[in-house]
Each structure stands twice: as C-alpha cells, then as structure tokens.
Amino acid sequence: MKLIGYTLLAGFTFSINGIKLPLGFIVFLAFLSRPKLNAAVKHRAAYLGLFLFIFQLIAPSVQNYIFEHPREIAAEGTNAYELDFEKNWLAVKNEFDVNQDARMEKFDIGYQQSGEINQLRYEFIEREQEGFIYYRVNLNIADQRLVVKRNRIEGLWPQYERSVSISHFFEQLNDYDIRKLAPQPDYSNYALTLTAEGSQISYADKDTKKYIIQGDRIDEITNMELPVTGFIFRVCAGAGEPGFIDCKERIDYFYDAVFNVHDGDVTEQEILQYTEADNRVTSWLNDHTGEQIGKEENGKLYLKQDGIWNEVSEDAYVTALKTTPHTEKVLQDGKWHVHYENKYGDAPHKLDVIIDAKTGDILSAKAE
C-alpha cells in the first residue's frame, strides 16, 4: 500500500493559470527521497507516478494527432461524367462512421470538356455530443485516392441547422447528368467548375441563367418569379485551368427551393431572405464567405484579409469559416436597417441595407 501511495503522490498535479505542475513529485524529492527502507523500490514507485503525470500531459496531444492525421480512401474514378458521387461519399462516411445528420459546407469540382477531373474537394461538418467535427476531403488525381482531414471544434456552428444534409446533396448530384447541366459556350478548349455552398440562400439575380430542379424536371426561373429561396449550385465555363477559370458563362441551379410570396409586414425572421435576395448583398456576401476568405493549398491553410492571403492555424481557419458575417437588425420608422460586417475578404468590410418593412423592397444598400 505504501508503494501505491508513493505512486499516487508523485503523480499528483497542481494547476496554476492552466499550467500543470508535478507538485506531488516535488514533495517527494523535498521530503521523501531518502527513505531508510526499500529506497530503490520506493524511488521506482515515485518515478512511475512522474511517468503517469507526463503521460496525462501528452495523451491529449497524441490522441489529437491520431484523430487529425490524414487518411486516404480509394476513389471511384476521375471522370465527372462517369463518377458515382454517392458511392464516393459512402466510402468516406463508412470509413469514419459519420452520422446521417452531417451537413455539407462547400463542394467544388473542376473538370475538362471531356469530363476529366482536375480537382475535387469538399468540406462537411458532423455534430457530436460535445461540439462538432470538421472534415476536408480532397481528391488526389495521380493516386486516385480521397485524402480526408478532420479536427474537432468546440462551441456553436450557427449555420448548421440551415445547411443541407451532405448525404442528400450527393443523392441529388448523382441524379443529374452533369454533362447536360453545363453551359455551352461558342468557343473551344474551355474548362468547367461546379461549386455549391451548404447553406440555404435567398436569391434575386436577374442577370444570370437560373433553373429550379423539381424531381426529374428542370424548369427555368423567370425574373418575375424572384426571389427564390433554396440550396444552390453553380456551373461555370471559361478559359483557364479548372478551379482557376475566368468564368465567362454561368448557370445557377436550385433544389429544395421555394418561391417567396410576401404577405404582410416583413418580420425579423424573414428580413435576411429579402436583403440577401438583392444582387448587391449577394455579391458582398460572396466576397466575404467561403472560398473568398479561406483556402487550402499544398496542405496549408490561408485566410484572406485586406487582399492578402495569410497562412493560419487550423483552429483560426475553421473559426473564420464557422463565423458567418456579423449581422445586426434594427426596425426604425417602418424600415429595417441591416448591418453586415466581416473583417475577412477584400474591402469593403461593412454593408448597410435599408428595407421597407411593408413591401420588402430594398431602399438602399451601401458598402463601406
């Protein structure tokens, strides 16, 4: 029993401002390091306690390293027209035992006219008992392997509940013939990208071709039917390498979408649907969210601030993406005043919108 006491004493810790100290081992060295009987055995028991102290310090780091270490999964093909997106997703889902409620954050695929993929990457988030797990998946074209990275996140994820289920997204994508969804520019040697954001949006862009997908039907959306609220993916055609093309022609597709009908005063719960259906607001949000503020290149993470890409830690990267632009809403004299702000991305970093609370009309949108 005395030997167990030496071990427990030496393993006892004391924390000061988050710094753990081996107080028990210090006490052992100061008062008990020269026992008259069984000195060698008691020293070994004390050093075992010190080992347990060290182990409890490094164990979380080791666990995180193992948890966050990239893992690879065989990919099912590298041609966008032939790829079974749902099958690839299920391989990731089963490998990591991802729950059915995981939500898509963003998806990006770049490919040639032939369908040959130049890049494929997507990010999704899974809710667990205490916090979330953020996943990033990239296709290694040369090895035909999906490289998966993940890390745990504490706190809230505001857009989680209004993001699309990633399983549902890939089911939808698998049902479409990507070849038929692409723009058909009148020039050769163009590349294409298909991008999607996980969050539901409101939309009123009158200058872009747009369609709503309902079952096996794809119907054009007229400007008279705007605004529309739903989940969107965009197909772009332009010159350059896929993923870095100069988008010359774009088509927007909506799924799980509804057309907005205004009835009565605009409420606080509805206000963002109206502001974010305006082209000026949509443009500002596009410049201050997603890939416009954060990117991953060669295994390194970057955030964009005032036009400069700075390498950052994984925690800083995920926190920036997780924090949607700060939004304030105030009703004053029959008008809603909505203020958006985000320090990431290009200037301007602030946008103020005024909307008529009766009609839902945008009265002004000023960026600064």
Which domain-ending residue is among 230, 261, 292?
Answer: 261
Q: Are 203 and 274 within one domain?
A: no
Cα gap 83→79, rounded to integer Å: 6
Buried b vs exposed e over 323-351: b needs ≥16 C-beta within 10 Å? bebeeeeeeeeeebbbebebebbeeebbb
**Percent of residues, the chain, with pLDDT higher than 90:** 33
For residues 288-296, give the mean pLDDT: 84
Mean pLDDT (the chain) is: 83
Is there a single domain that holds both residue 243 and residue 138? Answer: yes
Cβ–Cβ under 8 Å, residues 303 and 319: no
Q: Are residues 245 and 279 in the same domain?
A: no
| pLDDT range class, residue 93, cuts 50, 70, 90 | very high
Residue where the block lists tokens 């028991």: 45
State how far the Cα of 236 lies from the Cα of 178, in Å rounded to an integer.
12
pLDDT at residue number 140: 93
What does the DSSP 8-state code read for residue 38? S
Query: Is residue 10 packed enough to be buried (19+ CB in 10 Å), middle (13-18) or exposed (0-12)?
Result: buried
CA 285 to chain centre: 15
Model pLDDT, residue 55: 67
Neighbours of 109 (CB within 10 A): 25
The H or E element spanning position 52 is: helix 39-68
Q: Which has more confidence, 17 or 79?
A: 79
- Say what the pLDDT of residue 99 is: 93
Both 102 and 141 in a single domain?
yes
Among 159-163, 172-176, 264-268, the range scoring the smallest mean pLDDT is 264-268
Q: What is the pLDDT of residue 214?
A: 85
Task: With a cut of 90, say whether residue 138 has pLDDT above it.
Answer: yes
Whether 322 and 341 have beta carbons less than 8 Å apart is answered as no
Q: What is the CATH number of the domain that holds 281?
A: 3.10.450
Instruction: Clarify whether residues 314 and 227 are in a common domain.
Output: no
> What pLDDT, in 10s, does the model give residues 23-52?
565 665 665 666 656 666 666 666 666 666
Domain count, the chain: 3
Q: Decide: pTM greater than 0.75.
A: no
Please tell me whether residues 202 and 339 are part of one structural domain.
no
Of 24, 44, 68, the residue at which a domain comes to its end is: 68
Q: List b or e across 274-298, with b for residues whose CB sees 16 or more CB atoms inside 10 angstroms.
A: bbbbbeebbebbebbbbbebbebee
Q: Do 34 and 140 share a domain, yes or no?
A: no
Residues 103 and 226 placed together within one structural domain of the fold: yes
Residue 73 has pLDDT above 90, yes or no: yes
Q: Is the pLDDT of residue 275 over 90?
A: no
Domain that holds residue 198: 71-261
276-298: average pLDDT:
83
**Are β-strands 145-153 and 131-140 bridged in parallel, bridged antiparallel, or unpaired?**
antiparallel
Q: Are residues 28 and 114 in the same domain?
A: no
Query: What is the DSSP secondary-structure string of 223-275?
Result: GGG--EEEEEEEEEEEESSTTS-EEEEEEEEEEEEEE----SSPPTTTHHHHH
Task: For residue 188, give both structure tokens.
Answer: 């050769």
Alpha-carbon distance of 67 to 15, in angstroms, equals 26
User: Are 200 and 314 found together in one domain?
Assistant: no
Clarify whether residues 78 and 178 are in a common domain: yes
Structure tokens, 195:
């991008």
pLDDT at 261: 66
